[in-house]
Amino acid sequence: MSKKTMTLTDNATGRTAELPVHKGTAGPEVVDITRLYRDMGVFTFDPGFVATGSCRSSITYIDGDAGKLWYRGYPIEQLAEKSNYLEIAYLLLYGDLPVRQELENFENIIRHHTMINETLKSFFDGFHYNAHPMAIMVGVVGSLSAFYHDSIDIHNPRHREISAHRMIAKMPTIAAASYKHNIGEPFIYPRNDLDYCANFLSMMFATPCEPYEPDPIAVKAVNLLFILHADHEQNASTSTVRLAGSSQANPFACIASGIASLWGPAHGGANEAVLDMLRQIGDVSNIDKYILKAKDPDDPFRLMGFGHRVYKNHDPRATIIRQICHEVLENIADTDNPMFELALRLEQVALEDEYFVERKLYPNVDFYSGIIYQALNIPATMFTVMFAIARTVGWVAHWMEMMDDPDQRIGRPRQIYTGAPQRDYVPLDKR
Ligand code: CMC
């Protein structure tokens, strides 16, 4: 650990604090303020955690200014081109790329955990047929905690590992069942002869009436999108999982809290919101009008799929996705996709507009992911569910890392109290 410190002086009182400065493998230096309250009697204030690190992590690295994203040190561009989702899942969970035998064992374990308990199926019946699939996901994944509670000792690393395998394996099954419930079709059991992404497409689109073979281009596209969505360091949903887990809660309940956080349109819900926005814009002739709305501080309209808290140059995931968007649309969609044309034009107009340039607002991963999913016949309400399947391994890897961290403590931020000063209770008849 570095011995470098930073001295903080309160000019009013002359009190000082020597704050340790840490440096990770990459990234800027980090001032350690854990002793600040003890030494200076003050807290820090950072709503939205814009400048606050909450943990040490060796899983994912982002350099937002340079547009870099690494999983366990490997650049996302290389992984997207050469790897597959389950290998990435192994990498995120265990820290290194697997050798062949390790990968085969891992694939085998995941494949044999994909079924859900038959009684879990009855949970779906409690939801109205038109319930949003993300609402079903929050409920059903949370309910897994009832199936696996007494049997899990979260302080036992082997129990944690088994929970991780279960979550990664069962998430596609639950996700596909949410969709089948929506459209009133029977649930399709997992197929052990298919790989992770093909099996998911089979559970989504097969029916018991006829054979179904997933389109290899669709499998490739889902595999790529799952890789790009697999982890993204301390984003809102991952931080939610960590915070929930910091109280030593049941891991399935923690993942359900991550799904809830992901659902919002500022986070994973953006991919569904992008499609809604493109439909609302409707035609390239309306782009200027909507750009004006996005720039108007009094108008709540925002360009969905634009901007990112960390990426201020470009989102490397968006660059990769943009390239494959063409391939998927050319090979899968029957006709020219007007949404894609509209998206390209909107992107071009926004990238040349001073407002977006000044604020460093670039298309993010979800500007394109919905267009690809739509071409694969996945309905918009399932877009964020797809994100949740992919991100499960990230959430689980962070939960495992946190549970293994000897410095782990319950997460408990402080606040600036802005309520009434102390006052005395007044009996009801005297108010
Ligand atoms: N359209 C129009 N203006 C925007 C947008 C946008 N999409 N995003 C940010 N701005 C403006 C914002 O109004 C503010 O302007 P000003 O300085 O004049 O007040 C400035 O840019 C900074 O915005 P911010 O809200 O302070 O930035 P943030 O870091 O808190 O928010 C964000 C990041 C992603 C929530 C936001 O950019 C946004 O809402 N984007 C649209 C939703 C979206 O695409 N989310 C997906 C994120 S990527 C997937 C994931 O990993 O979850």
330: three-class secondary structure by DSSP: helix
Please calculate the CA angle 216-220-223 and round it to the nearest 5 degrees. 135
Element (H, E) at 261: helix 251-262
pLDDT at 77: 97
Residue 193 annotated among the catalytic residues of the structure? no
Could you report how far apart the first and last alpha carbons of the chain are, in Å?
Answer: 59
Q: Which atom of ligand 1 is nearest to the CA of 310?
A: 29
pLDDT at 147: 84
pLDDT at 430: 97
State the distance from the centre of ligand 1 to the C-alpha of 43, rounded, in angstroms: 27
pLDDT at 333: 62
Instruction: Determine the residue of 134, 262, 278, 306 to mutate for testing ligand 1's pocket, defined as the one with the most ligand atoms within 8 A of the Cβ atom.
Output: 306
CA dihedral 223, 227, 229, 233 (to 10 degrees): 170
State the distance from the centre of ligand 1 to the C-alpha of 307, rounded, in angstroms: 5
pLDDT at 111: 96
Ligand 1 pocket, CB under 6 A: 48, 232, 235, 266-268, 270, 294, 302-309, 359, 361, 364-366
Of 182, 381, 138, 388, the closest CA to residue 273 belongs to 381
pLDDT tens figures, 217-270: 899 999 999 999 999 999 999 999 999 999 999 999 999 999 999 999 999 999
Residue 316 tokens read as: 């490397």
Residue nearest to atom 15 of ligand 1 (CA): 359
Q: With beta carbons less than 8 A apart as the criterion, state whether 297 and 51 touch.
A: no
pLDDT at 336: 63
Residue 366 annotated among the catalytic residues of the structure? yes
pLDDT at 161: 96
Using a 10 angstrom Cβ sphere, with 0-12 exposed, 13-18 middle and 19 or more buried, the burial of residue 264 is: middle
State the distance from the centre of ligand 1 to the C-alpha of 73, rounded, in angstroms: 27
- List Cα–Cα distances, 79 to 16, 71, 88, 257, in angstroms: 47, 8, 8, 28
Q: Rounded to an integer, what distance in angstroms lies between the CA atom of residue 69 and that of residue 231?
A: 10
Region class of 186: left (phi > 0), else alpha (psi between -120 and 50), else beta: beta
Residue nearest to atom 31 of ligand 1 (CA): 309
pLDDT at 313: 86
- List Cα–Cα distances, 377 to 108, 176, 205, 278, in angstroms: 29, 13, 9, 17
Residue nearest to atom 8 of ligand 1 (CA): 307
pLDDT at 358: 93
Of 127, 250, 113, the closest CA to residue 172 belongs to 113
pLDDT at 334: 55
Rg (CA), the chain: 23
State the distance from the centre of ligand 1 to the C-alpha of 383, rounded, in angstroms: 20
pLDDT at 170: 97
Residue nearest to atom 47 of ligand 1 (CA): 267
What is the β-pairing status of strands 60-63 and 68-71?
Answer: antiparallel
Q: Which atom of ligand 1 is nearest to the CA of 235?
A: 51
Residues of the chain short of pLDDT 70, as ranges, are 1-2, 333-336
Q: Which of 165, 232, 308, 398 is catalytic?
A: 308
State the distance from the centre of ligand 1 to the C-alpha of 404, rounded, in angstroms: 34
pLDDT at 332: 72
pLDDT at 335: 54
Beta bridge partners of 30: 22
